[in-house]
Chain A
Amino acid sequence: MVASGPTEPDDDGPPAQGGGGADGDLPEAAGRRLGGSSFSSGLTVPDFAACLQMGLEPVGLVQGFCVMQWGWYGSGSPYMRGMTPYAFGGNAPRGAYSETYSCPHGGYVYSNEHRIWGQNYQQPWVESAWAQGFGSAYARMVEEAAEVGAHGIIGVVDTTRHLADMNVTEFHILGTAVVVQGGAAPPGGTPWTTYLAGQRLAKLVEAGYMPVSVVAALSSVRVWAYCVTEMLMEGTLSRFGGGYLPVSEVEQLSRAHIAARSLAREHVRSQLGNDTLQGASIVANTQSLAQGDEVIECALRGTRVRRFKDFDPLPAPRPTVRLT
């Protein structure tokens, strides 16, 4: 049997930074569904069986949504391409990442033909909007789970979908609310949450860790390429050097990718407290808005876990061979 929750009700709030509260705004249909006599579960049958084996009883499929509008971002918006928000001597917000690159060719007139400067800069407004969408959807899911008296939510799945025709983005988070048979309610009444389910969760508990909450964060870095980056990306004859450009690293892009990953890790680390992250998954996407204008977005998610017992060595595994 698993423990019924984290041991200290310290800072186990919504996972994403800036997550909005969602108390009391569940639709009426959610209340009717959750008040029904039968349970529903989004678990696969093997995960369902493993859940029963661990002493977890499913009580309902719970979910949360949030539809967000993405605004434009000052002069760096798609409506004003070719200008970064810091183009006219402005600085990035305090503590945000930004780097400036200057032309090494002695150019002094800025044009789209020869960009004499470029910038990488973090977009905290995008990150906080994502965190608000994710956090609100998460809070609603947890609210549904609390309504059915759940101790935890397992097998959490989160999806983000862009509804193109409506120019909005929908955050959808769902999981299966469970009660620990014979267990006490979690401290503070807030259910714990985890992306894990089935045997993966059983192995985590076997190793002496309890899930605390899912954690997720998005980092966003905009790249406004300068002349050297543009020429390297085009891979053509140098218009200024007269010969082929040497094989070399595209430093501005490399640094932007490194920064995006590093920022995502920082955002998640700030949500962990003294706990650790398990099953981290990092996904980076690059979107080209125009020539030399790119956005790198990096999403990092995982389960925040806390040790509750010492690790008992597992029995020696039995070797098997599949006949398929």
Chain B
Amino acid sequence: MTQPQDLPKEAGHRLEELEHGLFTSDLSVNEFLLIKEAGFHPLGFVMGSSIYHTGIQARRWSKSQELTKLTEAMYNARELAMTRMEEEADQLGADGVVGVRLDVNYYEWGRDAAEFIAVGTAVKAEDGTSHRNKLGKPFTSDLSGQDFWTIMQTGYVPQGLVMGTCVFHIAHRGIGQTLGTVGQNVELPNFTQALYEARELAMTRMQDEANTLGATGIVGVRLEEKSHQWGSHTIEFLSLGTAVTKSAGDVTLPKPITVISLDN
């Protein structure tokens, strides 16, 4: 088992206690039951955090462009938080982490700085089979307990929470451009292409991460957009999803049965 590189001392004490059999988790009772049903046991609530100074980057008023320094900062900060969470899971001997949530918080005392947090519940297979990913690390996923059980029934197993980000500056329109389309209902191809390109870049990067994990696909992809503290023309496009691989041959899924609820 690899030793955590940069976890705080307090994390070490907490994790030691968890190693003695006590577990913590943020799973609901139903999620807990389904994780058990899928053949896994929760080991502990794990987290990783990184306070990152995102700085500034010069942008041109009239040019749509990716702000690569900011993209890099947003990516590295989340990666650090995720890695620290994985280190905690690794120390517990976990096979994976389910229900991962990635948040960004801003504090008054830290101008241009943001705290990136990753939290989730570390789990381990009860039969001792290793479910670690291709890189030998615990898998991560934002799947709920119910989703985790369902995906395992389909013959797919999670490999990792993958993400791609792109911070993009959308150009302002010049006086000439504005006057040229005054009073018209028209498409603005520059805006369309800029927003399109930014989202596609984020999704491509997410897909590249999935390929690194040898994934067959990504499920539950979602696209988030935030301007953080940069003003409305600078937007972070974040794409997130759980990379999965097919674990077995063909799986015949049971045909759903019709039910009628007797509840209200």
Contacts and interface: CB of A to CB of B under 8 A. Distances in A.
A45 B145 CA distance: 11
A217 B71 CA distance: 37
A68 B185 contact: yes
A43 B219 contact: yes
B62 interface: no
- Mostly helix, strand, loop or mixed at chain B's interface? mixed
A285 to B, nearest CB: 18
Given A65-B192, A125-B185, A315-B258, A38 B219 contact: no
Nearest to B192: A67
Nearest to A32: B204
Interface string B217-249: 111111100000000110000000101000000
Interface string B193-234: 101110111011011101100011111111100000000110
Nearest to A70: B185
B127 interface: no
Interface residues of B, number: 58
A69 B185 contact: yes
Contacts of B259: 317-320
A321 interface: yes
A133 interface: yes
A154 B261 CA distance: 27
Interface stretch (A158-166, A260-268, A272-280): A158-166
Interface in A234-256: none
A321 B261 CA distance: 6
Given A67-B188, A165-B232, A166-B232, A29 B204 contact: yes
Interface stretch (A3-11, A47-55, A113-121, A295-303): A47-55
A38 B182 contact: no
A198 B129 CA distance: 31
B151 interface: yes
A20 B170 contact: no
B182 A71 contact: yes
Nearest to B210: A38
B191 interface: yes
B25 to A, nearest CB: 19
B262 A33 contact: no
A45 B150 CA distance: 7
Interface residues of A, number: 63
A69 B186 contact: yes
B76 interface: no
Nearest to B257: A318
Interface string B62-75: 00000000000000
A65 B218 contact: no
A112 interface: no
Contact of B256 (A53, A69, A174): A53
B235 to A, nearest CB: 9
Given A49-B253, A71-B183, A125-B185, A40 B200 contact: no
Interface of A: 20, 26-30, 32-33, 36-46, 48-50, 52-53, 58, 61, 63, 65-72, 77, 125-126, 128-129, 132-133, 136, 140, 163-166, 168, 170, 174, 199, 202, 314-322, 324
9 shortest interchain CB distances as A-B pairs: A129-B185, A29-B200, A67-B191, A45-B147, A39-B217, A317-B260, A165-B232, A317-B258, A33-B204
Given A40-B206, A164-B232, A319-B262, 8 more contacts: A29-B200, A38-B210, A40-B241, A41-B241, A44-B147, A46-B150, A61-B221, A67-B195
27 contacts: A29-B201, A29-B203, A29-B204, A33-B207, A36-B204, A36-B207, A38-B218, A38-B243, A39-B217, A40-B207, A40-B210, A44-B220, A45-B143, A45-B151, A45-B219, A50-B256, A66-B187, A67-B192, A69-B184, A69-B187, A71-B183, A77-B183, A132-B187, A164-B232, A166-B233, A199-B256, A320-B259
